[in-house]
Structure 1
Amino acid sequence: MHQIITRKFYMTLASIALAFMILFATAPAHAGSKQLDNIRAAIKAKGGKWVADVTSVSELTLEEKKVRAGLDMEEELSASNNTLDPLTNDLTTVAPATLDWRNEGGINYVSPVKNQGSCGSCWAFATTAALESQVMIFQKGVLIDLSEQILVSCSGAGSCAGGSSATASNFIRDVGLPLESCFGYVGTDNSCDNACVNWPTSTYGIVGWHRASSTTTTVNDIKNSLYLYGPVVATMYVYNDFYSYRTGVYSYTTGAYVGAHAIMVVGYDDINQCFLVKNSWGTGWGEAGYFKIAYSEVTGTSRFGYSTMVYEGHEEPVIIDPVLPDAEITSPAQGSTLSGITAIGVSTPTGSSISKVDLFIDGALFSSDSVTPFSFSWDTNKINNGAHTLKAVAYDLSSGNSGESYPVSVNVANPDPDTTPPTAAILSPAEGSTLSKLVKIKVSATDNLGLSRIEVYYNDSKLIGSSSITGTSVATVISWNTSKVAKGPATLSAIAYDAAGNQAPSKSLNVTLK
């Protein structure tokens, strides 16, 4: 690929080394930039309205790119377990000119962009994202994170070698998906045995699904579905130029066909004549993981939306036992946003002989209480921000039976932990001072959030005194009787502590004790 032209002249060893460093440092960039230059030239020649650039997937090999487009189109189009007939009414006269479910009425109904990695699981990510949006619409924007790995490992809809979003939609309707914490995504086929125990007893699902059209999907079919139901699952053909998309309104420009791909459409824009789409290639591609695609690609080379699946509403987690539970989580409320230390209350039937209540968080036992009223204290700082599920199990002393509460979904939103240390300084005495008898040492401290105390030392390790302090900027005085210490040269220093436990020393001060 690269040629080295040999000339007859003498070179120093340093010159030879430098020549090889330049050659091998610049060669790969040249190969990538040539492909990028060709795409950019084609965009300009065809009057395209998008920008090509180096992205997190543009430099992959062809085989690696094919993995990112893992939709089985034949299986996709043959799956027909729809619930309702496709939409036939044209709502474009009443639908707004723009729609974006990431900001509908000031509320976001779309979960964050994820990354399928080197696994042909786009079909699982697109359908899981659509279910997450249905749940978030039902819960008025409360974030939820559901398990794509369940679809890859347990559904039979596909694997890392590819799959069908239509078959996955049937599974979501009939069985549902648990939280991501039940079976975290690993980017391999994995075994369903590695999912959390009894995961089918607490899943989120859909009422049903249907295709946006029974014939050829049109722009209006997709728009109407978005307007009436929320984000939809769509398919498209992916070509090599798509991997270099950075921003703008994509339309096919150049390059060979790579594969079929599943994505989720989150909105549309009549002004710019495009759909707004969430991909599953991480935030290092496109517009932080999203892309815009021209309406013309519905009938164009990309065949965008050739198969478009519409979800018909969300079903709450299924409880296998239809009988009213023996316990009820009374606080926090369904859909609450929590931070800090939260009290969890559990009520049991009046007159029952409940001996113990266990509290489960995301399917794992958190704590037990054997004293009524049953309550728990949960420090949410010790768990990741995001969606979590609470469930209580009550045990009856007389019968030995147990019963579960209905799950309660909450969103934990704690501020980022304070890792910024405070600052400390000795204001007086001055550097080089001679000290005797009773000395007043004036010190100051600052912190971004809140201070807790300050300590003053001499000769690095001998404590003179300390003072409890509050606020973000404090000056205080600590008295020191120097008559009780050895005379001669000494150093003074201070250490400030903040409320989060961070600490920082002051600059040492040289003094003479007399």
Structure 2
Amino acid sequence: MSSLKKTDQCEQSGVYKSTSNRREGGHAISIVGYDDSKNALIIRNRWGVDWGENGFSYIDYKDKSGFGNQTWLFEVPAMNSVISMESPLDRDFISGAFSLKSTNNISSAAKVRYTVVRADQSVVATYVDDEKASSASLDTLSMTDGKYQIRVEVLDRNDRTLAQSTHQYFYVVNSEPELNIALNIAGIDSAKELSGRIELEVSAKTSSVP
């Protein structure tokens, strides 16, 4: 799309229409809809919400400036089966008794099954919620600290899988953090000038994070 120029006009209705009939620059915008009442396309610019109407504006159907040489169309298909993991979030750090939560839009869902596996894919625990509350309790105190993966499946009344979420990871950290500080004064040379010598050496060691 050609750049908006000072010689162009924007009507009181907020519809942009070129009056110069020239193409300049290489600015890009997104066409996100249309409004027949304004005879205009709805566009989204990339100059923030302070531009136009919260970042959006209109371009007249018959705008003289036309469109650039490169135009792309992106079509997003309707999502009939959606599972969303709400807790834990991907790569969360959790500890103690933790509540697993998810949501889905599958009307025929009867159960929700959570499967927790280790990094080597061995199953740690499986929880089945048969009340469609989409939540379960996970006791991480019985698990070693480290990285885990969680899968969520929506089941029908016959325990058949209707949909499955993408895999997410989380980290269990129940051990108390440690910080050790060691002072080393053996290597200090008191004969050197104070401004040029090492007066104190400190080394710190913390507990590892999985």
TM-score w.r.t. the length of structure 1 is: 0.18
Q: In terms of Rg, which structure is larger? A: 1
Which structure: greater helix fraction?
Answer: 1
TM-score w.r.t. the length of structure 2 is: 0.40
